[in-house]
Chains A and B, each alone.
Chain A
């Protein structure tokens, strides 16, 4: 049984299993008479907006000038006020010298705009990114405190980790928003980021602690025997080696953070999940929207995995 045995029957089996799952799902869905409306989804990523441009007063069209892309209409009110309105050339509805009343349409302004799915994804991304930075910082400090000689530091760090790991994130988000947010007058974004960072920070601390403790004692002794201080040794010797060891669990933690960030939608932060919910209320395309939302999370998390995989290979040069 050497490694080079024929694997393609097993790959065929894999494909067959996937097909069975897909067919089963398909069959089950067709039974409940759901009308798929995939065509309604793309507009929630990107759409072509058309806004009517109106005259803000009673007045006349003074002049119309056209360049390649747009047309500028200069308007003059009865009181001598001047306004220039920019519209798409083919949507021009007025001519020079024409008299208009307030709110008459001059023409339309068209542009591509990002839809709620894209905006929601963006919110999820920056929310997760900022939380990750804070979580990494918190985790590093707490992890170092966990291995420190100082009893107070160790006790504080342990309590923090235990409290956070022993309570559900959803409850923590509610406490952050309804209790801390009210008491300290914090915005929902601050509460959301704070809750996520505190949550991920506790887990990161345990990862950091394990990483530091996995470095042989001899490394600390060798550095100390050369006259290096504990902080110098941590920065130059222990943490770089620990970082390499903890990169896989750490990346797992941050992938979790991206997924967990969907919970902040309960405090009305319009992230990807909340955007999905909002779209469903206007389209009733429940199946399509949730599938798309899931696919978007999956895309982001797999991208992150790939980046980490690449970093691990780069860091492996000294092995």
Chain B
């Protein structure tokens, strides 16, 4: 489903160049849940953002469902419509109601009729557990509810892959659970997911594979049992000691 080869992303600031993502090669199979963990500044979010073209990477290839993002002829909008993204800060559209948040891209990008889009929106709000908020504006919702709406908004496009960029990091602790529950449900339904998170519990329970990144590089890849109980690399051991 997703294949990355030697992806490099450089950031230039004040005359110095930082290799934020430094030659990351990874593969995500269909239906697989891959959790990317690592200390902050390890490039995991940047890597995730490269996958749907929010960051333009400098070297390497990212191939999604057979389409190479590095290819100049690739229509990035088409790719993005197939790749759902959930942000740390939710990024709901504050001037639109919850229902409109879910229908807008369906109508504009998928060219669905308003009725069809609304039906889909309501169905998805049901799924994330807040159908009663359809006509509210996002500012009236709690953080957890907003993030669930954001997940529903991404799902409304029928994506083949879902990317989660620290979806629970901006939430109050008591709201983390409701968002993780929705994500777990999605994983069980067989959605292909790449999740950048600090929720080790989620990684342990749901991940098919864990990718540990540090300083822009993939340090260790493995199943959660293996990674959490018997990490091979020193940096991974150190990281786990700090977070667990």
Interface residue ranges, A against B (CB under 8 Å): 216, 218-219, 221-229, 232, 236-237, 240-241, 244, 317-319
In the complex formed, the residue of A with least CB distance to B94 is: A318
In the complex formed, the residue of B with least CB distance to A241 is: B95
A216 to B94, CA, bound (A): 11
Residues of chain B in range 82-108 having any CB-CB distance to chain A below 8 Å: 82-85, 87, 89, 91-97, 104-105, 108
A40 to B80, CA, bound (A): 72
Whether B145 sits at the interface, judged by CB under 8 Å, is no
Q: Are A227 and B137 in contact (CB under 8 A)?
A: no
In the complex formed, the residue of B with least CB distance to A225 is: B85
14 contacts between A and B (CB under 8 A): A218-B91, A222-B85, A222-B91, A224-B53, A225-B84, A226-B80, A226-B105, A226-B109, A226-B153, A227-B80, A227-B82, A228-B108, A232-B109, A318-B94
Given contacts A221-B54, A318-B139, contact A226 B81 (CB under 8 A): yes
Given contacts A222-B87, A222-B93, contact A236 B137 (CB under 8 A): no
Q: Are B87 and A236 in contact (CB under 8 A)?
A: no
Whether B241 sits at the interface, judged by CB under 8 Å, is no
Q: Are A317 and B137 in contact (CB under 8 A)?
A: yes
Interface residue ranges, B against A (CB under 8 Å): 52-54, 77-78, 80-85, 87, 89, 91-97, 104-105, 108-109, 137-139, 150, 153-154, 157
CB-defined contacts of A228 to chain B, threshold 8 Å: 77, 104-105, 108-109
Q: Are B78 and A227 in contact (CB under 8 A)?
A: yes
A221 to B48, CA, bound (A): 13
In the complex formed, the residue of A with least CB distance to B84 is: A225
Q: Are A224 and B80 in contact (CB under 8 A)?
A: yes
CB-defined contacts of A319 to chain B, threshold 8 Å: 137, 139
How near does chain B come to A57, taking the closest CB pair, in angstroms? 71
CB-defined contacts of B109 to chain A, threshold 8 Å: 226-228, 232
In the complex formed, the residue of B with least CB distance to A244 is: B95
How near does chain A come to B69, taking the closest CB pair, in angstroms? 14
User: What 10 additional pairs, Cβ within 8 angstroms, besides A227-B105, A244-B95, A318-B137?
Assistant: A219-B91, A223-B93, A224-B77, A225-B52, A226-B80, A226-B105, A240-B95, A317-B137, A319-B137, A319-B139
